[in-house]
Amino acid sequence: MPAMTDNRLILLSEADNVLVARARIGAGEAIAVEGGTVRLAAPLSIGHKIARRPIGAGEKIVKYGAPIGSATEAITAGAHVHVHNVKSDYTPTYHLVGAEAEGAR
Amino acid sequence: MNGLEMRGWLRADGRKGIRNVVAVGYLVECAHHVAREIVVPFRDRDVHVIGFPGCYPNDYAQSMMERLCTHPNVGAVLLVSLGCESFNKYALERVVRASGRPVKTIVIQAAGGTRKSIDEGRAFVAEQRALLDAAPTVPMAVSELVIGTVCGGSDGTSGITGNPAAGRAFDQFVAEGAACIFEETGELIGCEHIMAARAATPELGAELEASVAKAARYYATLGYGSFAAGNADGGLTTIEEKSMGAYAKSGASPISGLIKPGDIPPRGGLYLLDVVPDGEVRFGFPNINDNAEIAELIACGSHAVLFVTGRGSVVGSAISPVVKICANPETYRRMADDMDVDAGRILEGRASLDEVGREIHDRVVALGAGARTRSEELGHQEFILTYKSFEPIGPACLPAA
């Protein structure tokens, strides 16, 4: 784990461009990522990922040292990396992320 | 380990069971209620309901029921038929009888209906339960164990804590001569090449790759990966990310073979269970939920199944105990009653992967020395069996045989 990264984030492989939360991190918190400081727009739940560095649109997302999908848009360092900005290179991901809020409208 | 001595019930085929269950099998959904009523007075006394709901015949379901009714954890069998279904109850009864187990078939239409069938069934179960409770046990070695592993309700913690810890336990079991089975080829998509490199022979490696390619085609036709909405809530973004985590359950041992549901590993080692049907896509999703996979692992002879969960599955199974390994420390704190192992400690720096791996190993061995799992204590006995079709495995699948 390189210095200057919040210890609630773990780097699983040196080749990775994402970090994984091993504890919940609150929204608006200033956290160290690879020597820089980022502010989270929303709370980050345990097991979720943020970008370790800027990731270009179409670039592979790398976790465990292996590609796990492609970025569908440019992702800034420290931004949440998930179904809103990543797609599978195999089968599309079915999810209900955001569905509860839609139903409440 | 820890001075615990495993003991088992010796069956006529030489295998030993760590449980001595009376299996009550319904042979069509129309007989399910009667089967369920028969076991009501025997709660907490190892009388488990299994069965097949369909009225049309299916070779896979027939062979699954045969394997389950002659599983080493089963000591006696009661079959419940409505009477007019297509399931071949005669063949199933013959297979069970040939295995040396007491077996009886109740045909509801012949017995005179629901009430008479329930009374007759309960009398048989009570008699068999008394005999099984008095049956002697013999010493059992770790090398005689078959252990399956599955993950369900996975999240972003599963691949970091619970799955690799289960993999460490598998490595220990394989080193001790036990047979270990991992599965869900649909959740190995993206891992096929690194997995093939661990195969005992290049020909087996090609079979492993082909099984994952088959799964990818099958799921692509269905339009969904082996990925549930809750996986995304838990931080998993794609099927290949879930696969990388799921693959960790296999540990680091060489892969000795590829088997299909109902195939018993011929010796110790690590085996991949190919759960995706062969041929054209038929009958829907390969496994409609986690319990369908657990039933297949048990049909392959698994004495116990390791179940890694992040979101918090609560299930157990009929026939074999399910050891629940909770990958997520927040889930563990919320649902500790349902969990056997707290692997989330790894994430919080309170335990190492090796420590949790040894704990999982020791929990399984303890099951052979009288310990019970949380899901057993809570009465979980989920079971599901649906339609599938398989070709037999090819000659390259078990290279050492």
Domain carrying residue B95: 21-134
Q: Is position B30 within any domain?
A: yes
Domains held by chain B: number: 2
Query: What is the crossing angle of helices B290-299 and B59-69, to 10°?
Result: 60
pLDDT of residue A105: 45
**What Cα–Cα distance (Å) separates residue B47 from each residue in B77, B200, B303, B360?**
10, 40, 16, 26
The answer to whether A22 contacts B155, with C-beta atoms less than 8 Å apart, is no
Contacts of B238 in chain A (CB under 8 A): 68-69, 86-90, 93
Low-confidence ranges of chain A (pLDDT < 70): 1-3, 102-105
The answer to whether B233 contacts A90, with C-beta atoms less than 8 Å apart, is no
Q: Is B235 touching A (CB cutoff 8 A)?
A: yes
Q: Is B206 touching A (CB cutoff 8 A)?
A: no
Residue A14 to residue B59: CA distance in whole angstroms = 49
**Are B166 and B304 contained in the same domain?**
yes
**Are B50 and B179 contained in the same domain?**
no
Average pLDDT, chain B: 96
The minimal CB distance from A90 to the residues B229, B240, B347 is found for B240
Among the listed residues A56, A90, A71, the one whose alpha carbon sits nearest the alpha carbon of residue B213: A90
Q: Is position B252 within any domain?
A: yes
Domains held by chain A: number: 1
**What Cα–Cα distance (Å) separates residue A97 from each residue in A85, B55, B385?**
13, 39, 31
Q: What is the CATH number of the domain that holds B28?
A: 3.40.50.2300
Interface A-B: count of C-beta contacts within 8 A: 117
**Are B195 and B244 contained in the same domain?**
yes
pTM attached to this predicted model: 0.95
Q: Is position A33 within any domain?
A: yes
Look up tokens 């592979």; give the residue.
Answer: A60
**Are B94 and B149 contained in the same domain?**
no
pLDDT digits (tens, 9 = 90+) for B188-216: 988 999 999 999 999 999 999 999 999 99
Share of chain B above pLDDT 90, in %: 94
Contacts of B235 in chain A (CB under 8 A): 20-21, 45-49, 82
Contacts of A95 in chain B (CB under 8 A): 229, 231-233
**Are B110 and B160 contained in the same domain?**
no
Q: Is position A2 within any domain?
A: no
pLDDT of residue B223: 86
C-alpha neighbours within 13 Å on the C-beta side of residue A73: 9
The answer to whether B219 contacts A91, with C-beta atoms less than 8 Å apart, is yes
**Are B121 and B150 contained in the same domain?**
no
DSSP reduced 3-state for B286: coil
Residues 6+ apart with CB under 8 A from B265: B146, B179, B181, B256, B257, B259, B271, B300, B301
Residue A24 to residue B161: CA distance in whole angstroms = 16
Domain carrying residue A32: 9-104
Residue B312 to residue B300: CA distance in whole angstroms = 26
Q: Is position B186 within any domain?
A: yes
**What are the strands, taking DSSP E only, across B248-329?**
255-259, 269-273, 304-309, 322-326
- For the segment B175-188, the average pLDDT, to the nearest whole number, is 95
The answer to whether A66 contacts B216, with C-beta atoms less than 8 Å apart, is no
**Are B242 and B300 contained in the same domain?**
yes
Query: What is the crossing angle of helices B162-175 and B353-367, to 10°?
Result: 60
Question: What is the predicted ipTM?
Answer: 0.92
**Are B256 and B182 contained in the same domain?**
yes
Strands B179-183 and B269-273: parallel
Q: B149 - beta bridge partners?
A: B306
Q: What is the CATH number of the domain that holds A32?
A: 2.30.130.110
Domain boundary among B78, B104, B134: B134
Domain boundary among B100, B134, B168: B134
